[in-house]
Structure 1
Amino acid sequence: MSENMEMLERIARAITDDINVSRIDWTELSIVFSFEDDGFCSGHFGYAYDGDGRPTPFTLNSMDAEISASNYREWLRQDDDRGMIKMLFQFNRQSRKVQAAFEYDNSSRWQVTPANIDVITDELRPDLDAG
């Protein structure tokens, strides 16, 4: 298994082991991590989607996923690169598939507001089914 996949699986495990996520009935989830210039994860938010695609918002109780996400960011970062400012991490519980997308410039990407919540929750919904 590649080191890249091991690091993504470590993030997935930290998220799925979190008590706040374990209380939700979900099939897929998305979580957005935000990073400071020094690599510190300054926050996160997520949505867990049930089998019908209905989102439930969540935050993590433990910092384990934030630490794993920060470590992944630093592992990906080139020596002369400032690194990503946001990462969208997606996971499917049934297929065990993971996916990550990165933002390097636009700090408002994936930002949730009252005006766009329906659009963003739909945009963040993973499509990592078993098929």
Structure 2
Amino acid sequence: MSFRIPDEKLIELASLFLETKDVKDNDWTECCFVFEFGEGHVSNSGYLYDGDEVTPAIASIECYPVLLGYKLLELRELIYSECGHKFIQLLFQMENKTKRFKIDFEFDDPKRWAITPCNMFEMRERLKPVFDKE
């Protein structure tokens, strides 16, 4: 499966993540958010990492709570128009100091990044961003 996302769209999304309430209101060195897309809804959960501290977080912009979800739905439709598949999960990871970020997609397995009470400690470690030192 192959598709191209315009750089401007990626930069816009990363900028929106920086505007979310939990990201703005907390100290963090890395963050991750998992978005799940269902029929007519978008949900998310994630973590802010600061050394050994891990804080649960959600990605919502205070004055525009549905804006980020709406932009991600637009991205989902863009990718669908190019490759004929809709992703069911999106993983966003960012490093605060450099603002480097990664976005990954899951098209088939709804449990790949699902955060549940049974796996939340495992997932917070598994989802912690690792950026190669350059």
TM-score, with structure 2 as normaliser:
0.81
Moved over 6 A (4+): none
Q: Which moved more, 1:91-100 or 1:2-11?
A: 2-11
Aligned partner of 1:7 among 6, 9, 34: 9
Structure 1 portions without partners, runs of 5+ = none
The count of residues paired between Structure 1 and Structure 2 equals 127
Tell me, yes or no, if the aligned pair for 2:49 and 2:55 is still in contact at 8 Å. yes
Structure 2 portions without partners, runs of 5+ = none
**1:8-40 deviations in whole A, cap 9, x for unaligned?**
221221121122321110111111111135xx5
* Alpha-carbon RMSD: 2.2
Aligned counterparts, 1:80-91, within 5 A: 81-91=84-94
Residue 75 of structure 1 corresponds to 78
1:3 deviates by 5.5
Structure 2: distance between partners of 1:115 and 1:65? 27
Aligned partner of 1:18 among 17, 20, 45: 20
Residue 54 of structure 1 corresponds to 53
Q: What SS does structure 2 have at the residue aligned with 1:12? A: helix
Residue 43 of structure 1 corresponds to 43
Structure 2: distance between partners of 1:11 and 1:41? 19
2:19 maps to amino acid:
D
1:25 maps to amino acid:
D
TM-score, with structure 1 as normaliser:
0.82
Report sequence identity in percent.
27
Q: Which moved more, 1:71-80 or 1:97-106?
A: 71-80
Structure 2: distance between partners of 1:80 and 1:126? 27
Structure 2: distance between partners of 1:3 and 1:106? 22
